[in-house]
Structure 1
Amino acid sequence: MSNLPGGESAARTADLPTGIEPVVAHDPVPEPGTAAHDAAASKEAAETVIKAFGGVRGMIDMTLPGLVFIIAFNVTHQVAPAAWSALGLSALFVVVRLAKRETIQHAFSGVFGVAIGAWISMKTGKAENFYLPGLLYSVGYCVALAVSALVRWPLIGVMLGPITGEMFTWRTQNPGRLAAYTKATWAWVVIMGIKPVILFPLYFTGNVNLLGWLKVALGIPPMLLAMYVTWQILLKAPPPIKAQTDTE
């Protein structure tokens, strides 16, 4: 037993000639074509779901302005201050992301939607109209998802393909992933369709408080559920086939 700290392993390291680094054991990398390699590739591809939709941070950026609007409206009982408060928060999110040199895609889409809702609500004087653009967007999004699945260009695949590096090989070379992306897209149609089904009837009642609080409550949970379902589907799908570039 060596008296060096670390025992025998330290002694063996000390005996190595100068300039030769000790070999450190690492976990073996699965060989391409093996079941373990395919499982690891599928897991890596499945985890891109969170990245594609902006993660929890992106969902917060799109949800908090609606919460600020309904709180400010309850405090002031006026549409304009509530609308400006929500718009100001959305703009702040964009500024913060720019300062940190982060992507502003989701924050910018949020401020765009809030700006339209704020303008309509102030123009009409009806607080419930602040939520109208978001409701119409939800309907349009679900319709687009359904149409894309029907024509065999599922939007989930279109969105994730560039992130996973497969581009559109899933459509021409990988029927298992085409089926998985189609299944995931239909899952988004069903899950995200819950929001407009619940909220549109409330919009027509003019119950701003209930509409606002439910809009906030139905912001993040359905999206998290849709992302989880997609993740589970892609875990069981064949691994992506990387697209060949001109330099390869």
Structure 2
Amino acid sequence: MTVAHGSEPPEGGGSAPEDHAAPLNSSAKPAAEGASVSDLAAGYAEKAGLHRNSAGHVDMLKSAGGWQGIAESILPGLVFLVVFTITRDLTPALVSALAAAAVFTVVRLIQRRPLTQALAGVVGVGISAWLANTTGKAEDFYVLGFFTNIAYIVAMVLSIILKWPVAGLLFGFVRNEGLEWRKDPERLRAYKLGTWIVVAVLALRLVVQVPLYFMGEAGLTALATTRLLMGAPLYILGLWVAWLVTRPAAQPSKPSSSVD
């Protein structure tokens, strides 16, 4: 599920030229307007966490936060599992998980990088630790993720119903389509499908992990393991599949006219 060198796996062994999609409105536009659309696309993609590589594809690894971002999402939960498995004591496991999350915040401070992702991780781990400590159940360390998944599922399903599918809002700007794709029923259907794919990924997490949660401590190891495997790696895979199924159809090249 990881993507080597931070680039999207090429289709058919090569880059996909059709992903260099031009806006659906092919009429000529002033250069200033084209520049503003380009700036808007770049800014929106950056805020959404999507990045376009030099080949014109979404940089899947970078979109997941790079190796550091993936580590920030995986290590606190992994540290919690390892320490709890060794000690069978909830307190040191929770403290270790919080410490692991805090380390990433310090690292970002040293690197002078944005703290948003690291701070969100600390808050998330903190809430998870509070829940587990309050109930005294180790498995409750992972329960926050269920509610987060449900919230995302509801938001994405609503975006489909309202005909503003999330996949279109994200990929449309990366592909320089702006919002023109909403005027094309075929593109709208494609982006609805892409959003359903992401919804399916989130729903799959719940289907697999919720039963393990209700097994209590007996299912803790399996729950923690599936949480790691179905976190960033599954997100990258789902994002890549959604990108592929929503790509615009390749435009036939116009034959060059010869002059006798």
TM-score, length-normalised on structure 1?
0.70
Cα distance change on mapping 1:47 and 1:176 into 2, 3 Å: farther
Counting only pairs closer than 5 Å after superposition, residues 123-134 of structure 1 correspond to structure 2 as 123-134=134-145
Q: Please state if 1:73 is matched with 2:76.
A: no
Find the counterpart in structure 2 of residue 191 from structure 1.
Answer: 201
Find the counterpart in structure 1 of residue 18 from structure 2.
Answer: 39
* Residue in structure 2 matching 1:214, options 219, 226, 240: 226
SS of the equivalent of 2:20 reads helix
Question: Would the aligned equivalents of 1:121 and 1:127 in 2 still touch at CA under 8 Å?
Answer: yes
* One-letter amino acid of the counterpart of residue 242, structure 2: T
* Residue in structure 1 matching 2:242, options 217, 227, 230: 230
Alpha-carbon shift at residue 99 of structure 1 (Å): 2.1
Find the counterpart in structure 2 of residue 24 from structure 1.
Answer: none
Alpha-carbon shift at residue 232 of structure 1 (Å): 1.3
Which runs of at least 4 in structure 1 moved beyond 6 Å after TM superposition? none
Instruction: Indicate the structure (1 or 2) with the bigger Cα radius of gyration.
Output: 1
In 1, Cα distance between equivalents of 2:60 and 2:186 = 18
Alpha-carbon shift at residue 48 of structure 1 (Å): 5.2
Deviates more, 1:145-154 or 1:97-106: 97-106
* Residue in structure 1 matching 2:182, options 171, 190, 193: 171
Question: Would the aligned equivalents of 2:187 and 2:248 in 1 still touch at CA under 8 Å?
Answer: no
* Residue in structure 2 matching 1:155, options 166, 169, 188: 166
Aligned residue pair count: 202
The alignment yields a C-alpha RMSD, in angstroms, of: 2.8
Cα distance change on mapping 1:123 and 1:67 into 2, 3 Å: same
Question: Would the aligned equivalents of 1:176 and 1:238 in 2 still touch at CA under 8 Å?
Answer: no
Q: Please state if 1:180 is matched with 2:159.
A: no
TM-score, length-normalised on structure 2?
0.67
Counting only pairs closer than 5 Å after superposition, residues 12-161 of structure 1 correspond to structure 2 as 39=18, 41-42=20-21, 46-47=57-58, 50-160=61-171
Question: Would the aligned equivalents of 1:48 and 1:163 in 2 still touch at CA under 8 Å?
Answer: no
Cα distance change on mapping 1:222 and 1:159 into 2, 3 Å: same
Cα distance change on mapping 1:114 and 1:164 into 2, 3 Å: farther
Question: Would the aligned equivalents of 1:184 and 1:233 in 2 still touch at CA under 8 Å?
Answer: yes
* One-letter amino acid of the counterpart of residue 187, structure 1: I
- The unaligned stretches of length 5 or more in structure 1 are 1-37, 240-248
Q: Please state if 1:204 is matched with 2:233.
A: no
Alpha-carbon shift at residue 175 of structure 1 (Å): 5.0
Question: Would the aligned equivalents of 2:19 and 2:247 in 1 still touch at CA under 8 Å?
Answer: no
SS of the equivalent of 1:193 reads helix
Give the % identical residues.
36
- The unaligned stretches of length 5 or more in structure 2 are 1-16, 22-51, 252-260
In 2, Cα distance between equivalents of 1:185 and 1:65 = 29
Question: Would the aligned equivalents of 2:64 and 2:236 in 1 still touch at CA under 8 Å?
Answer: no
* One-letter amino acid of the counterpart of residue 228, structure 1: W
Question: Would the aligned equivalents of 1:52 and 1:160 in 2 still touch at CA under 8 Å?
Answer: no
Alpha-carbon shift at residue 214 of structure 1 (Å): 2.2
